[in-house]
Structure 1
Amino acid sequence: MRAERDGHRQESAEGDDPQALTVLEQMGGISGLIYSSVPIVVFVPANSLWNLTVAIYAALGVAFLIFLIRLMRREPLQPAISGVIGVAVCAFIAHRTGDAKGFFLFGIWTTLLYAGVFVVSILVRWPLVGVIWNGVNGNGTQWRRHRRTLLAYDIATAVWAVLFGVRYLVQSFLYDNDETGGLAVARIAMGWPLTAAAALATVLLVRRAQKSEHEEEAAEELDQVSAASEGPDAEGPGGTTEPAPPAR
């Protein structure tokens, strides 16, 4: 039984079990992050060449086309569905404001909201990366009992909070200065490349946290075994070892 637990721990540490699912994979992988940039790449030139209405329909059409491609390729649909909904909301805001830069307004405020949520989760000692990671992998909340593990999740959550905070500051500055083209560049440059980097940092931190957690559990089991072997059953009255019974 113990060997089975040790094998499971070794497997988890090496990333060969379902816990190897990364934050990046939950977001649709590299392809999903790249797909999310395509509507923006189409929207800005279409607005410059024609008008806002054409740009809106072009972005919506591309988003729906990406959804169909992922459907035919049997790829995860959740990121594609979220992408269509996101583009639709951005297009609606751009239409209501009558300005192309309105297409980016929803994303700007969303990044500020994300940054705030991640920071609050650290302050209340429930770092969001730890909650999401262990929730997806069905690990419960045992990870919160290990100080080093909790610290690793705090750092990983802080990485994402900083990422979203920087995105908000840069893009809100460009929005206030009517830099629609700059918004598109910033959205893409600070989108999937930085997200992939943050996801990689998260995976490394989580792997280290899990390894530390497994080492602590192994040390606790060893202490328990040592305490049991040195307990009262091993000694006779007065602390002396009982003699072995005579052979018959």
Structure 2
Amino acid sequence: MGGLTGLVSATLPVVVLIPVNNQWGLGPALLAALGVALVITVWRIIRKETLQPAISGLLGVALCAAIAWFTGDAKGYFLYGIWVSLVLAVLSIASIIFRWPVVGVVWKGINGESMVWRQVPKAMWAYSYATAGWAAVFLARFLVQNGMYNHGDTTTLGVTRILMGWPLTGLVTLLTIWMVRRANAAVEAAGLVETPEPAEKEA
């Protein structure tokens, strides 16, 4: 959702956290991560990017830092992301089961289009496959990183977090783009028009 800048914003604090923690300990490491997140937020504001992702990114880093401080271990920085991955995996799987695949809902919601695609079986399957791809990524992140949190060190966990971030996100994004195009083609072949949702009338 945050695009390339969002990926950078999520990765750089981790890149800074690991060496600073190894060299100077937890406190300086968390301050360094927060400092980097703050600089990125200011930079995004200066570039006049959408404010919500910038603020959300800063708050996310602050929350992760607070958890790490509370647990007394730099590994705690990763706890929030680990458990959010599990929640997102469960939500993605549930959305497929209940025939509201979240990729289709989010994609059409962002573009302000109707949910007419749910009337087209091929489109429904395409969005379900895309959602299943994200579910697999989220579940893999939880299983691998939770195991490393319980048995590994901060450096290994941090490197794993980065390796399971950009590469997997890139792969599942390509799958999503492919499936969205197939869904759009299926809707067009069915002769349906995905018109924007009408705006609510003011009272």
Q: CA deviation at 1:196?
A: 2.2
Aligned pair partner of 2:159 in 185, 200, 225: 185
Shift of 1:59: 0.6
Equivalent-residue separation in structure 1 for 2:50 and 2:171 (angstroms): 21
Q: Which amino acid aligns with 1:67?
A: T
Distance in 1, matches of 2:53 and 2:69, equals 24
Question: Which residue is equivalent to 1:49?
Answer: 23
Query: Which amino acid is 1:200 matched to?
Result: L
State whether structure 2 residue 170 is matched by structure 1 residue 196.
Answer: yes
* Equivalence for 1:165: 139
Q: CA deviation at 1:103?
A: 0.7
CA contact (8 A) 1:34 1:192 kept: no
Say whether the 8 Å CA contact 1:134–1:140 is kept in structure 2.
yes
Tell whether 2:124 aligns with 1:150: yes
Question: Taking structure 2 as the reference length, what is the TM-score of the superposition?
Answer: 0.91
Structure 1, gaps ≥5 residues long: 1-26, 219-248
* 2:45 is the counterpart of 1:103: no
The answer to whether the Cα contact below 8 Å between 1:43 and 1:55 also exists between their aligned partners in 2 is yes
Read off the aligned partner of 1:143 and give its amino acid letter: W
Deviations 1:74-126 (A, max 9, x none): 22333221211111111011101101111111110010000000000000111
Residue 81 of structure 1 corresponds to 55
Aligned residues: 192
Partner of 1:31: 5
* Unaligned runs of at least 5 residues, structure 2: 193-203
Q: Which TM-score applies when normalising by structure 1?
A: 0.75
1:46 & 1:150 partners in 2: Cα distance?
A: 47
CA deviation vs aligned residue, 1:32-85 (integer Å, no higher than 9, x gap) = 212210000111111111010111111111100000111111223332212111
Larger Rg: 1
RMSD: 1.2
CA distance in 1, matches of 2:131, 2:152: 32
